[in-house]
Structure 1
Amino acid sequence: MIARRLLNRAVHAAWTWTQRVGDVRPGTNLGDRFGALGDGTSIAFPVGTLMNVGSIHVGRETLVGRHVTLSVGYGAGDPGARPRGLVIGDRCVIGARSTLTAHESIELGDDVWLGQDVFVCDASHGYQDPATPIGRQMGPHAPVRIGAGTWIGHGAIVLPGTTIGRHVVVAAGSVVRGTVEDHAVVGGSPARVLRRFDAGLGWVSPSGDVRPVLDASPS
Structure 2
Amino acid sequence: MSLKSSVGGAGRRVIAVVVHRVWEWLRTHAEISPSTPAGRRFAYLGEGACIGFPTGAIYGEPWIRVGDHTLIGVHVTLSAGFVPGLDLGPDPIVTIGKACSIGRGSHIVGHKSIEIGDDVFTGPYVYITDQNHGYTDPDVPVGRQWPVNDAVTIGSGCWLGAGAIILPGTRLGRNVVVAGGAVVRGEFPDHSVIAGVPAKVVRRYDPKAGWLPPLPEVPLDDETLAQIAKMIDDGTAKPDEMAG
Instruction: Give the TM-score, by structure 1 length.
Output: 0.92
For the 8 Å contact 1:52–1:81, the answer to whether it is kept is no
Equivalent position amino acid for 1:13 in 2: R
Residue 19, structure 1, aligned to residue 27, structure 2 = yes
**Which SS does the other structure have where 1:124 is aligned?**
strand
2:124·2:163 contact (CA, 8 Å) conserved in 1? Answer: yes
**Contact preservation (8 Å) 1:73, 1:81:** no
Q: Say whether the 8 Å CA contact 2:56–2:76 is kept in structure 1.
A: yes
Map of 2:78 onto structure 1: 70
Counterpart position of 1:140: 148
Alpha-carbon distance between aligned partners in 2 of 1:41 and 1:61, rounded to the nearest angstrom: 4
Q: Distance in 2 between matches of 1:201 and 1:130?
A: 49
Give CA-to-partner distance per residue, 1:96-132, whole Å, 9 cap, x none: 1100111100000000011100000001001222343
The within-5 A match list for 1:142-181 is 142-181=150-189
Is residue 198 from structure 1 mapped to residue 168 from structure 2 by the alignment?
no
Larger radius of gyration: 2
Amino acid at match of 2:119: D
SS in 1 for 2:36: coil
Alignment of 1:30-45 (within 5 A): 30-45=38-53
Corresponding letter in the other structure for 1:165:
G
**Cα deviation, residue 26, structure 1:** 0.4
What do the CA deviations read for 1:3-36 (whole angstroms, capped 9, x no partner)?
3222212111110001111100001101001000
CA pair 110-164 structure 1, distance change in 2 beyond 3 A:
same
Look up the match of 1:48: 56
Give the letter aligned to residue 65 of structure 1: G
- Preserved CA contact (<8 Å) 1:62 1:92: yes
Indicate the SS of the match to 2:21. Answer: helix
What value does the CA root-mean-square deviation take over the aligned residues?
1.4
| Secondary structure at 2:137 match in 1 | coil
User: How many residues are aligned here?
Assistant: 210
Matched, 1:10 2:10: no
Letter in 2 for 1:192: K
Residue type at the aligned position of 1:60: D
Is the CA contact 2:63–2:88 (under 8 Å) kept in the aligned structure 1?
no
Q: What SS class does the counterpart of residue 206 from structure 1 fall into?
A: coil
The one of 54, 71, 85 aligned to 2:93: 85
Distance 1:139 1:38, change over 3 A: same
Contact 1:72-1:81 within 8 A present in 2 as well: no
Query: How far apart, in 2, do the equivalents of 1:133 and 1:19 lie?
Result: 42
Secondary structure in structure 2 of the residue aligned to 1:6: helix
- Give secondary structure in 1 for the equivalent of 2:135: coil
Secondary structure of 2:29's counterpart equals helix
> More deviation in 197-206 or 178-187?
197-206
Separation in structure 2 between the aligned mates of residue 83 and residue 53 of structure 1, nearest angstrom: 12
Shift of 1:82: 6.0
Unaligned runs of 5+ in 2: 1-8, 217-241
Q: Is residue 90–residue 110 contact of structure 1 (8 Å, CA) maintained in 2? A: yes
Deviates more, 1:110-119 or 1:134-143: 134-143
Q: In structure 1, list runs of 5 or more residues that go unmatched.
A: 211-219
Q: Is the strand fraction higher in 1 or 2?
A: 1
